[in-house]
Each structure stands twice: as structure tokens, then as C-alpha cells.
Amino acid sequence: MKFFRPPRTLAVRLFLLLFAGMLTAVLVTRGLAIRERDQLVQSYREHGAALFLADVLNLLAALGPHERLEAVQALPSKQWRIHTVEENALPTFQPGFTADLEQAAGSSMVVEGAWRTRASDCRHTLVQCPTTRNTGAVVRFADGQRLLIEDIRESPGRLPKLEMFMTGLPIFFAIMGVVAWFATRLVLQPLRQLSEAAEAFGRDPDHPPIDETGPAEVRQAMATFNRMRQCLRAYIEERTHILAAITHDLKTPLTRMLLRLEQCTDEPLRLRLAEDVAAMQRLVNEGLELARSIDLSQPIRILDLGALLQSLCDDTEDAGAAARFSGQGEAFVSGRPEALRRSFLNLIDNAVKYGGGARVDMERQDGDWLIRIRDFGPGIPEQHLHDVMQPFFRLEASRSRETGGTGLGLPIAANLLTGQGGALSLRNHPGGGLEVCVKLPMAGPPASV
């Protein structure tokens, strides 16, 4: 069982990777900075307090015995206290701090003893630690005066390490998120352009090539895509020309065969051969139709799909077949009018031929128009739903040769719809019959509407 599933999109993966990398760098840097700060503070506590107190003592040494007491008492901050030494009031001296103070004060006085109190340990607390600075010394000056000097300044407590570590992190998170997002967009923008170009080429082989811009790797990928696009276009054109040329050239010998059959004296033989030649002519004609369905040279326009489907159903009913359309009033799509007309006419004709009638429904589905064309025939076996989309594939059990089917109607319609951004799929309706589902992207109304 997997406890972590990575996101599927490259954008989210890249964003999380950048964000995690920057977050790790910030946390490590901040941790090192706090550690260095603690070391500096500790070093100051060990040596800086002695240096500061020595400076004050040297200033007092330059004054006279009476001036020293007056100078300290006149300070408005009341941060220092100085008085004569009482033997029973002396604090406990600290030898290490006394030695540091003797070294810092020099030879202008004699340090009899010194002390300092340590600040509270806040490393494992979540509240602010109040700190009272209490540093002092008993000193004998060169003039023989012996005084006790105390530094009783109160300073705001230092923040606990956890609180120092968390200070400013929300701002860092916001900045890192914005930077990671813009970096992700910058990196993925060429991939989005490549994806859009591939999708546009799938809809229209004549779509212009993608501009080869961006970093070297991206330009190489775009150049490879443009070369692939050019090769595919050449292959499609060659395939179309070969198919069109073969089917076109077959018309001439078929016409000669029909003329020669008129001279045949065996009437039963002549009728059978004429039927075979007619079947071959239908096959040639639909082969030309298939070649035209691959050719997407017709310009794209905005048209009302609902009006087109309604007119096709009306024409089918006028011809004596059953065809009914139901849908919204206006349904604009962007496509090639003649190609759309031919594709939907093929689908409606198939429903009428093989299913006894056509029911055409159209509805909105997200950003597409969904068109369902249902017949009332036997349907298609599930294992052959994909096969019937291949050219020249026929189902003899459900499609009689008497109808003249060649197996090209559905492939032609699929080619025409795919070339305009549409999609065609088949399914057997639960109520019986085959249902053809067509999706076409919505479009806005034309400028003249």
C-alpha cells in the first residue's frame, strides 16, 4: 500500500520540488544563522561583559574619590550602583570572571573580585525569558579608594530559540510560493506551447509550424516537432494522392467494361457482370470520397449546427425515410460546412439503411455539443465496435450486400469530424439499436449574427 502518491501533473511536481528545495535552503540557512548568533552572544557573555565593565572602571579611575560617587549617582538611567565596600555584604566572587576583568582593566586598579549572573536558559521554553543583568566588581583604585560597583541594568528577555526560528517564516513561505509558481510557469510555458501546437496540428494539418523559441533544449524539441509535422503532412498528402489517383484511374476501365457488357448476348451473364461492375463503381466512388475526407483544404467557418442537422433530417423525410431531430435552437461550431454536411449525411443515411430510421438529438455538454444519432436496427456486436471504424470492414451478419455497403461510411465521417476538432464514438443503445455519439467544440456566433 502506497502512503504517498505523487501528483500526476508536471506543473504540481515541479512546483513542489522548487518549493521544497527553497524551503530546505531557508530553514538550513536560518538554523545556521541562529546557531552563529548564539555563539556570538555566548562569546559576548563570556568576554564582552568584562570588557564593558572594564571600560566603566577606567573612566571612574580618571576621577577623584568624591567625583566617582557623584558621577554614578547623577546618571538618569539608574543603571549603575556604586558604594563603599561593607565586608559582610560582599557577594560570591567568580575566579574566571575576575581574571577576565583584571586582564581588561589593566594596571590602573586592583580588582579584588568580580561576579556576574547568567541569563535564564530559554532553549526549551515557548515563552519570552526576562533577563536581569547583574554584574559587578570590588575594585581598589590607585588613590586607595575601595568601591563596589554593580551593573543592574534590566534588558528585555531574549526570545526562545523556537520563537526566533519561526519569526518571519510565513513571509518566507509566501515569497517562496510566488517564486516557485512563476518559475514553474516559466519552465512549462514552452511545453504548453508545444502541446497546443500538437493539438492544433491534429485538427488541421495545414496549421503553421510552431515558433522555435526558448532555451536550447526546448528549441530542439520544437524543431523535432516541426520536422515530424512536415513528414506527416507529406505522408498524408502522398497517401491521399495515391488513393485518389488509383480510384480515379479505375473509372476508365470500368466504363469500358460497361460498354462491352452491352454487347454480351448471354442476358443472365450480362446482368450478373453488370451488378459486379456497378458494385466496383460504388467502391471507387466511395474511395474518392475517403480521399477527399482526408483533404482538409476547405476554409473553416462558423455555422449553425442545429440548422444543418434539421435540414438534413428534413431532406431525409422528404425522401420517404424516417428521421427526427430534437435540440436547441442555435448551436454554433467552427468547421468546414461541406465536410460537416457530408459526415452527418453519411451517419443519418447509415441509420436509415441499417436501422430503419434515424433519431438525432443534440445537447450541450460542458464546452462541447454532443450529437447522438440512433437507429432502430440490430446494433453491432461489442467486439466489433472498434473494427467498423476501419476502412473496408463490413459486418455481413447485420449489413447485407443488397444495401451496397462498402465499409467506408463510418471511416469517412470519422476523418471529416476529427479534422475539425470533433470525435466520433459508437455504442449499442440499452433500448436497442446503434447510437453514434459525436462531440464538436462550441464556438461563438459569427460576426454577422
- DSSP letters, 38-77, are HHHHHHIIIIIHHHHHHHHHHHHHTS-HHHHHHHHHT-TT
Write down the pLDDT at residue 60. 84
Per the DSSP assignment, residues forming a β-bridge with 139 are: 111, 147
Query: How much is the pLDDT for 165?
Result: 54
pLDDT reading at 372 higher than 90: yes
For CA atoms 235, 241, 244, 250, give the dihedral sign. Answer: negative
- Identify the pLDDT of residue 160: 54
Confidence of residue 398 (pLDDT cuts 50, 70, 90): very low
Question: ∠ CA(380), CA(383), CA(389), 5° rounding?
Answer: 65
Q: Are 345 and 312 in contact (CB under 8 A)?
A: yes
pLDDT bin (cut points 50, 70, 90) of residue 254 is: confident
151 neighbors 134 (Cβ within 8 angstroms): yes
For 172-203, give the DSSP string. HHHHHHHHHHHHHHHHHHHHHHHHHHHHHHHH
The lowest-confidence range among 23-27, 344-348, 403-407 is 403-407
Single-letter residue type at 63? L
Strands 358-365 and 323-326: parallel
SS3 annotation, 86-146 = CHHHCCCCCHHHHHHHHHHHCCCEEEEEEEECCCCCCCCCCCCCCEECCEEEEEEECCCCE
Burial of 347 (0-12, 13-18, 19+ CB in 10 A): buried
Percent of the chain with pLDDT over 70: 77
In the structure, what pLDDT confidence band is assigned to residue 78 with cuts at 50, 70 and 90? low
The label of the residue with cell 466489433 reads 384
Residue 125: its pLDDT value, please?
41
Instruction: Tell me the percentage of the chain whose pLDDT exceeds 90.
Output: 4
Least confident of 66-80, 98-112, 397-411, 430-444: 397-411
Average pLDDT over residues 376-382: 85
pLDDT above 60 for 376:
yes
Residue 291: CA count within 13 A, CB half-sphere: 18
More confident residue, 371 or 121: 371
Predicted confidence at residue 5, as pLDDT, reads: 63
- CATH 3.30.565.10 domain span(s) along the chain: 299-441
C-alpha span between 163 and 69 (Å, rounded): 42
* Residue 318, number of CB atoms within 10 A of its CB: 9
- Among 3.30.565.10, 3.40.50.1970, 3.30.300.30, 3.40.50.920, what is the CATH number of 299-441? 3.30.565.10
Any idea what DSSP says for residue 9? S
Pick one of 1.10.287, 1.20.1300, 2.40.50, 3.30.70 as the CATH number of 192-297: 1.10.287
The pLDDT value given to residue 359: 92
Residues of the chain with CATH 1.10.287: 192-297
Q: What's the pLDDT score for residue 100?
A: 83
The model's confidence at residue 53, banded by pLDDT at 50, 70 and 90, is: confident
Angle CA(385)–CA(389)–CA(395) in degrees, nearest 5? 65
Q: Quick one: how far is CA 407 from the chain centroid?
A: 42
User: In this predicted structure, which of 253-257, 300-304, 307-311 has the lowest mean pLDDT?
Assistant: 253-257
Nearest to 282 by CA among 312, 330, 250, 304: 250
Residues in the chain: 449
Pick the more confident residue, 340 or 49.
Answer: 340
Q: What is the pLDDT of residue 293?
A: 58
Q: What per-residue confidence (pLDDT) applies to 130?
A: 45
What local confidence, expressed as pLDDT, does residue 225 receive?
Answer: 84
Q: Is the pLDDT of residue 404 over 50?
A: no
DSSP codes, 299-312:
PPEEEEHHHHHHHH
Between 416 and 164, where is the model more confident? 416
Q: Indicate the pLDDT class of residue 1, thresholds 50, 70 and 90.
A: very low
* Mean pLDDT on 89-98: 80
* Banded pLDDT at 361 (limits 50, 70, 90): very high
pLDDT by residue (tens digit) across 118-140?
Answer: 554 444 443 444 444 578 888 88
Confidence at 400, pLDDT banded by 50, 70, 90: very low
Sign, CA torsion 216/222/227/230: negative
Min mean pLDDT across 244-253, 261-270, 284-293, 324-333 is at 284-293
DSSP state for residue 320 in the 8-state scheme: T
C-alpha cell read off for 218:
526546448
pLDDT of residue 373: 92
Average per-residue pLDDT in the chain?
Answer: 76
Alpha-carbon gap, residue 399 to 407, rounded angstroms:
9
Contact status, residue 429 vs residue 445, Cβ threshold 8 Å: no
Cα distance between residue 101 and residue 115, in whole Å = 10
Query: Which of 53-62, 110-119, 184-193 is the most confident on average?
Result: 53-62
Cβ atoms < 10 Å from Cβ of 287: 21
Residue 365 has pLDDT above 80, yes or no: yes
Q: What pLDDT score was predicted for residue 343?
A: 85
